[in-house]
Amino acid sequence: MKTLIVNGTVIDPASGLNRRTNVLVEDGRVAQIGNTPSSAADRVIDAEGLLVVPGLVDIHVHFREPGFTHKETIHTGSLAAAAGGFTAVVCMPNTRPAIDTVETLAQVLETGRRDGLVKLFSSAAITYGIEGSRLTDMESLHQAGAVTFTDDGKTVMDPHLLYEAFRRAAELDVPISSHCEDHRLVDRGALNRGATSRRLGDPGIPALGEELIIARDILFAEETGARLHIQHVSTARGVQLIREAKARGVRVTAEGAPHHFTLTDEQALISGTLAKVNPPLRTARDVEAVAQGLRDGTLDAIATDHAPHTLEEKSLPLDRAPFGMVGLETAVGLTFTRLVHTGLLTAEQAIAKLTSAPAAVMGLPVGRLAAGLDADIAIIDPQKEWVVDPQTFLSRSRNTPFGGMRLTGKTVLTMVRGDIIYDDREGADNPWPADAD
Ligand code: NCD
């Protein structure tokens, strides 16, 4: 089967390609990028006015399997990924059991291959059960395919243990991904500590709690030579700490999440617990700093921290509802609306933050669009206006504060190894199973 994508603007940030041309897909791979005539293909996809880009890469998702499949499964999570234009994801290990043994990791990777649709990579935990007391067998887990080590959702507080984890990570040349929260300072609270938390009677989560750990982990990376990746940076001073560390040559990378470059803590007044996320939505100054960090390269990648929870769980009171929001299906809309259409990033820069840059952070063999490689492709309409309707999400969960928001920019088609796994074009037959559950 030969598929030809015609008339689109083809962008591959890794090679600097950004021009109107055609992409020929044959046997699951990109056969040619150039002006191949339509007559050479069995199927033609017209991408007039659209961007044809490498399949997007999200290095921070929670697919909840094993253990929390009422929130999401690897299958429903990858449907959501496909709908967002993502063709590769890195799963977080805070499942039940946690991804802390080779057996559980192998099971997750196998389920990914079996019902994943997208390319599924996995992290593994730094400590058993994400409990912060006993190091996992990082060598074996790395050999079995773990692309990064993290206790995401929690921070490893014991400095002896953490030093040993960084030392081993340096030896393995694998990044430590750090969820930054000093649990001695941050032990309560649902929202950023400030006017909104006070108004809602919440004790608040101080920005300092995140910044202390960013500073600490930068020093661990500097001391051991390990690669450090700072997850979901949410504060202005956090961005600045990473900027300074990069300037003096520390091997640190970082990600920004769409909700952190779009919403302030005041969103909780509108969306209640749907705006409860960890780290929390912060102030307008912080939101601006995250966007600027992405602009100047301090933050390498955009990652969604897709964190599904049921609406039942989210209907608990503010202090008891879980932290987190889904993000895969709104990421492109938010990135284009907030960063590209405002002139902060060019489309090519934004695509880099969603493809080649996150792939480089984790050393993944994805995020490129070039002849000879797998045809993992997203087609994006940068001008498409749409209103976020959580009812239409393919994720099993609908916990988003973005419902009803008007966005400009949307994924219209997603392909993995040449197979269309999402198609939102007019009159298209959607290829996903009718029962997304
Ligand atoms: C994450 C989750 O739900 O797993 N929630 C979140 O708010 N980001 C865990 C976490 O990172 O705290």
For the segment 356-366, what is each residue's pLDDT rounded down to a tens digit? 999 999 999 99
Pull the structure tokens for residue 197: 């938390």
Q: Which pLDDT belongs to residue 428?
A: 76
Average pLDDT of span 370-385: 98
How far are the Cα atoms of 48, 52, 268, 275, 367 from residue 410, in angstroms, in the given order?
A: 15, 12, 26, 22, 18
Q: What is the DSSP-derived secondary structure letter of residue 135?
A: B
Q: Which pLDDT belongs to residue 38?
A: 82
Quick one: which atom of ligand 1 is closest to the CA of 323?
7
Whether residue 105 has its Cβ less than 6 Å from ligand 1: no
Confidence of residue 39 (pLDDT cuts 50, 70, 90): confident
- Could you confirm whether 423 is annotated as catalytic? no
For the segment 417-427, what is each residue's pLDDT rounded down to a tens digit? 999 999 999 87
Q: Which pLDDT belongs to residue 430?
A: 67
Q: What is the mean pLDDT of the chain?
A: 97
Burial annotation 126-163 (CB, 10 A radius, 16+ → b, else e): bbbebebeebbebeebbebebbbbbbbbbbbbeeebbe
Residues whose CB is less than 8 angstroms from the CB of residue 170 and which lie 6 or more positions away in sequence, other chains included: 224, 225, 226, 227
Give the C-alpha separation, 260 to 338, whole Å.
11
pLDDT at 431 over 80: no
Whether residue 314 has its Cβ less than 6 Å from ligand 1: no
Whether residue 399 has its Cβ less than 6 Å from ligand 1: no
Domain 55-362 has CATH 3.30.930.10: no
Give the C-alpha separation, 253 to 298, whole Å.
8
Give the C-alpha separation, 269 to 247, whole Å.
38
Q: Which pLDDT belongs to residue 46?
A: 97
How far are the Cα atoms of 93, 248, 353, 362 from residue 128, in angstroms, in the given order?
A: 10, 33, 32, 22
Distance 244 CA to ligand 1 centre (A): 27
Residue 63: name the closest of 91, 35, 23 by CA.
Answer: 91
Confidence of residue 72 (pLDDT cuts 50, 70, 90): very high
Is there a shared CATH topology between the 2-52+373-423 domain and the 55-362 domain? no
Pull the structure tokens for residue 369: 């669009």
Contact of 123 with 90, CB cutoff 8 Å: yes
Ligand 1 pocket test, candidate residues 178, 278, 325, most atoms within 8 A of CB? 278
Q: Which pLDDT belongs to residue 215?
A: 98
Residue-range domain boundaries for the chain: 2-52+373-423, 55-362
Confidence of residue 436 (pLDDT cuts 50, 70, 90): very low
Residue of the CA atom closest to atom 9 of ligand 1: 153
Distance 195 CA to ligand 1 centre (A): 23
Whether residue 8 has its Cβ less than 6 Å from ligand 1: no
Q: Which CATH class is domain 2-52+373-423?
A: mainly beta
Whether residue 323 has its Cβ less than 6 Å from ligand 1: yes
Distance from CA of residue 103 to its chain's centroid? 25
